[in-house]
Amino acid sequence: MPGYYPQDIEKKWQAHWKEHHTFKAENQSDKPKYYVLDMFPYPSGAGLHVGHPLGYIASDIVARYKRLQGYNVLHPMGFDSFGLPAEQYAIQTGQHPALTTEQNIDTYIRQLNSLGFSYDWSREVRTSDPQYYKWTQWIFLKLFNSWYNLDTNRAEPLKTLLDKFQQNGSEGIRAAGDEEERHSFTAGQWQSFTEKQKLQAVHPYRLAYQQDTYVNWCPGLGTVLSNDEVKDGLSERGGFPVERRLMPQWNLRITAYADRLLQGLDTLDWPDAVKEMQRNWIGKSIGAEVEFSVIRTENLEPRTQNSAENTLSSQFSLLSSKIKVYTTRVDTIYGATFLVLAPEHELLKELTTPDQQQAIQDYIDATKRRSERDRMADTKTVSGAFTGAYALNPFTNEPIQIWIADYVLAGYGTGAVMAVPSGDQRDYVFAKHFNLPIVQVVDAQQIDEQADPTKEGKYLHGLIQGQNYKQATQTLIQELEQRGIGKGKTNFRIRDAIFGRQRYWGEPIPIYYKEGVAYGVAEADLPLVLPEIDEYKPTETGEPPLGRAKDWKYKGQFEYELSTMPGWAGSSWYYLRYMDPQNVGRFVGEEAEQYWQQVDLYMGGAEHATGHLLYSRFWHLFLKDLGLVSAPEPFQKLINQGMILGRSNFVYRINGTNTFVSSGKKGDHQTTALHVDVNIVENDVLDIEAFKNWREEYANAEFILEDNGTYVCGVEVEKMSKSKYNVVNPDTLIEKFGADALRLYEMFLGPLEQFKPWNTNGMSGVAGFLKKLWRLYHPQDGDFAVTDEAPKPAELKALHKAIRKVEEDIEKFSFNTTVSALMITVNELTALDTHKRAVLEPLVVLVSPYAPHLAEELWQKLGHAPGSISSATYPEFKEEYLVEDVVNYPVAINGKVREQLQFPATATPADIEAAVRASDFLARFADGKEAKKIIVVPGRMVNVVV
């Protein structure tokens, strides 16, 4: 008996696809293009578990479906192959991270191929390949040699800036970035500058620039970590302490693009949640910048919540120091009763009085152990330290205390906030805790128990007394600008992206130093290849690992930058390289880029919303400014697949023993639940011998079993991870059930975007469906027996219902309902004993995106060229086959249904009424009464009124 043996079929077709380059995409075609992409995977040593392929399966279904629709489909795959895990392994073992990475990639490719994905492997890229990161370095150099012109609202080559300097000096130049970092000079001064002086003057304008920046420094890992890599003051990897440290860092000026990144979101077909995350991360706010003068005080008594207003102007004088504050509620400035600075604020050392130095230093030390994310998220803890210094509220002319608190961040706004406890709850709690004054600013405020941020009512003080919110805001900004102590300003929460890691396994930053000034490596000298080093940890003097490289200098004399690029560098533009990966002269060929334009469908996790997705958009906008790409955005449609959760099993050990009690018997014992490897459990029943062999300490374990002699495990749904022993390897399932069954089952679990629990027991049902499908073509698992006999109406009806349903559902990315529809169709055709080509040939095309191996096998048996189902045509839906010949009508007497009668679908209400009168219906159900009226609702029902 031939039967259905998926393992043999799947290996056969995977080999065929590889040999014949079945899914190779061309960069020019008469067909419409469709670019479907999976987010770049990092090749971890553990390989794939069953949760990883969820998005890959969905995108592959779409890719195969689009080919059937006549599209030229680009569906590539590659690897984000730089990363900290490989480097940590190298530090521990001495093995070069390239070797570890290569082995991991081999495992990934084998597993991906075993699932039958229709990738164009000829376009594979790896971020750690010098021929790839040559172009990552090239893009960095473009950023290094560009500035952002606010007059043209785009990036421009530095030459246009230098021309302005040559003609008019720095006067009138409007550039993105911190104006305070730049110096004013005339054209004549510029022309007299030395080369070094010119470079120093230009540096603060660059889109890639170096600056002392507060970073998350992890001494244990010897590197700077992103906020995402720090949790509760410890590194996510390894659990090492992390502290905030001021270090020279390379930065990319993403802030220049903040407004455009916001506006572009409106053009994208992305989940609303992801777009909202980016909007919040960018954080546009319209407000004002205000200068508070620092004052010298003599015996000034601090004002508290209970004290009368100070009128101590004779007791203080102004100092030269100014504290700039950015606020979105300048209307509340009369209620600003203290200032709060970030613990990293540049003026802190100057401001702190001698008697407060210890308290301030202790607070700074504590803050260093917390990441910015932790500081922002912690809204319950109230902490701070008084500097001993005072500032002058420019509108009340009252001295106000200057504090530090970790909820203020150095990198957002000016690193200082004016605290208005009557209008801000965090300020209110702070003021209550430290007994600081709270001043009502609007007559509508209710501040007895909490802050009230209302903008309703009339203002109570000074210049704005009696005004409403809009009037007050305009009045105050006008006054600030007239007095030269502030201005209206738009601000963004987003900060420039730190672009450096003190580690080895990453792209070298193509910068060298001459006389302490940064120069870009010549493009002709790219790639700057990672040098060989003897160890992969920082040097004994604290330099990054690249400091170990011997004789590694540009042109043999200039020191290179020792930091490497962050993990997101290579993944910010890889979608472009896929368009033209073999191009040696350009990062992507112009014709290829103009043909593919952008990714039509991007599949990946929502966790990348404010990292990879934002940085990619930033790089793309920059490349577009330089005329190097044509599409306005990199990814037009985004789908976030949900997570497949693990189904953990537990054994219950009686405390103090090596005896394990079955789940149903554990109530009589004090036990500890222990995770057990789900691969030695079937239908929650433990394989006891396998358990004894699993871990040495369980070799002599004893068991209290159920009455039927089995050991039943406990169950819990939780995240799939090695530590919980609930990881299911797809290799095992493919070997047992086949890849097509795994593909179908993952889609069948539920809606793509939702989290879903895994249960291997459900695989058998999907495998049974595929066997039933096989038997439509091979009755009783016998020989292939498809006939050319004309199909019956019922068979065509079942087929065309499926054609319409599958097309509608794939277009909506509702893959679970498609699988259900295919199962229903196969059941209907099995009941009809269908073996006809006119039905089964279109059916196999419908199935092919989901179960491609089985579809290829059946397609060949139907007489088509081997491996050609990808170039088949999606079946045309025909409404005529769904038209019913007869309609079932419920027939009621006085509203109570008595029976169902069939009438031709073409029957008119008059025809139906006549047929009911002519039948024995009234004789059987109306007790001999005559019908007064017969009401016919076409297609619905008949009601006889007696």
Structure tokens at 496: 């420039």
Structure tokens at 42: 């990092």
Report DSSP letters for 720-753, one per residue. --GGGT----HHHHHHHH-HHHHHHHHHHTS-TT
If we measure between CA atoms, which residue out of 742, 851, 605 comes closest to residue 111?
742
C-alpha distances in Å from residue 313, one per residue of 332, 389, 395, 491, 774 = 22, 15, 13, 33, 93
Rg (CA), the chain: 36
Q: Are 538 and 158 in contact (CB under 8 A)?
A: no
Q: Is 722 annotated for ligand binding?
A: yes
Rounded to the nearest 10°, the torsion over CA 343, 344, 345, 349 is 80
Residue with tokens 């007095």: 483
Q: Are 445 and 452 in contact (CB under 8 A)?
A: yes
C-alpha distances in Å from residue 472, one per residue of 284, 482, 488, 501 = 21, 15, 13, 47
CA distance 343 to 364: 6
* Other CB atoms within 10 A of residue 194 CB: 9
Instruction: Measure the N-to-C terminal CA separation of the chain; round to a whole number of Å.
Output: 64
Q: Are 217 and 242 in contact (CB under 8 A)?
A: yes
Q: Are 135 and 587 in contact (CB under 8 A)?
A: yes
Alpha-helical segments (H) within 94-151: 97-114, 130-144
Which residues, in sequence order, are CB contacts of 277 under 8 Å at separation 6+?
606, 609, 610
Q: Which phi-psi region, left, alpha or beta, contains residue 709 (left: φ > 0; alpha: ψ -120 to 50)?
A: left
CA distance 119 to 116: 9
CA distance 476 to 276: 32
CA distance 734 to 737: 5
Q: Phi and psi for 292 in degrees, rounded to 5? A: -110, 125
Q: What is the H or E stretch that residue 623 is in?
A: helix 612-625
Rounded to the nearest 10°, the torsion over CA 95, 101, 102, 108 is 140
Annotated binding residues for ATP, written as ranges, equal: 722
Binding residue numbers: 722
